[in-house]
Amino acid sequence: MKKDKSYYLNKSFFITATNTDVGKTYACEKFLRFFHSLGLRVGYFKPCETGVITNPIDGSKMLNLVKELNPSFDVTLTDIVPYQFKLPAAPYVAKGETKIDIEFLKEKKAFLETMCDVLVIEGAGGLMVPVEKNLFIIDLIKEFESKAFLVTPSKLGCINDTLLSIEALKSRNIDFEFFINLYEDIDSFDEVSKPFLKEYFGSLNFLQDL
């Protein structure tokens, strides 16, 4: 990661992943703390959260953190998680008859950006998770004009998952960096997956190093 504060100023970063349960919310916390350490006022946005029974778990956790790091981020849970659905499924399925309005989300993003120097946006699932019939998470990144931070796992199969996701980002001409979350198959990662990833990419970024 760059240490230059000006590089991140007035930008938004979309935290996405190769799949669900790869560590997007954990990554959001790491990036929020990293940006804060540079002296930047941080903000958070999660356009859709599913599996919500009473309050959105991810959104609530991140809102508490952001208000601790940036007290001027004066927003509510509804502001940062405008679409909340009970069914733990892709937004397209969980939303039922609700229409997810991309223009409304872009307006909400612009509103949140007035209270921070850098906005961290958390996606749902992986890049090709459907939001509407012809709108996917990867399309939100493009619509938001954000840089993508792709979170990839350390488990067996991460080579394939990482390369496929990177190909998808490149096909949309989306600027991105990827970060490996060392949380699964850690003991075998250095032997099973790291040799190829290191040879192919040259250098690797790990969330744990932020």
Does 23 belong to an annotated binding site? yes
CB neighbour burial string for 172-203, b if at least 16 within 10 angstroms, e if fewer: eebebebbbbeeebeeebeebbbeebeeeeee
Least Cα distance to 66 among 25, 108, 96 occurs for: 25
Instruction: Break the chain down into helix, strand, coil percent, rounded to 5.
Output: 45, 20, 40
26 annotated ligand binder: yes
According to the annotation, is 21 in a ligand binding site? yes
In sequence order, what are the residues at sequence separation of 6 or more whose Cβ sits closer than 8 angstroms to the Cβ of residue 52? 84, 85, 86
Query: Does the annotation flag 125 for ligand binding?
Result: yes
Q: Is 25 annotated as a binding residue?
A: yes
Catalytic site residue 99? no
According to the annotation, is 123 in a ligand binding site?
Answer: yes
Query: Under 8 Å CB-to-CB from 95, ≥6 apart: which residues?
Result: 48, 83, 85
What CA–CA distance (Å, rounded) separates 113 from 103? 15
Query: Is residue 43 a known part of a binding site?
Result: no
Please tell me which residue in 5, 11, 46, 198 is annotated as part of the active site. Answer: 46
- Please name the helix (run of DSSP H) or strand (run of DSSP E) that holds residue 82, with its range, or none: none
Q: Is 118 annotated as a binding residue?
A: no
Q: Which residues fall in the annotated binding site?
A: 21-26, 50, 122-125, 208
Q: Which residues fall in the annotated binding site for substrate?
A: 50
Catalytic center residues: 46
Q: Which residues fall in the annotated binding site for Mg(2+)?
A: 25, 122
